[in-house]
Amino acid sequence: MLKKKIETALNKQINAELYSAYLYLSMASWAESKGLDGVANWFRIQYQEEQSHAMRLYGYVNERGSRVKLTAIDAPPTDWKSPLAVFKETLKHEQKVTGLINKLVDLARSESDHATDNMLQWFVSEQVEEEATADGIVCRIELVGEKGEGLFMIDRELATRVFTPPADQEG
């Protein structure tokens, strides 16, 4: 059984991951409305990833004999000025999530909860990838600009992304 402090913190993180999914679905909708189908695809895949992150935590809380308690999810923004703005917000959001994960690791360690610390290491690694991916897209958009062929090429590249659940979550 998880200590109450850990259970509460993991439940908050489940909510944060579900908010992330909701945010990325909103971003997908915005991109589709702008004719950026590749960008929309990238965000729909990101939505699926965030849902899988929430479910990873959900499964862990239940496996440890504790209870998941879902709470309200805040409404995400629905409009952005440009493709660059939407990806800059994505990077900023992923940096915030990294901070949340780091605080969970700190809590697990302060509570001597080695199993939770171990489980959270997957998220630590995942956040490095999440930030690097968002930063890479920001850098490419800044390099080519937001109009014309450069943006078209990035949009086309982002259209190729597919969701692959982590091996331990398949099925």
pTM of the prediction? 0.94
Q: Give 116's pLDDT tier (boundaries 50, 70, 90).
A: very high
Query: pLDDT of 52-97, one tens digit each?
Result: 999 999 999 999 999 999 999 999 999 999 999 999 999 999 999 9
Using one digit for the tens of pLDDT, what is the confidence trace for 134-168? 999 999 999 999 888 999 999 999 999 999 988 77
What structural domains does the chain harbor?
4-71+79-162 (1.20.1260.10)
Separation between Cα atoms, residue 12 and residue 69, nearest integer Å: 9
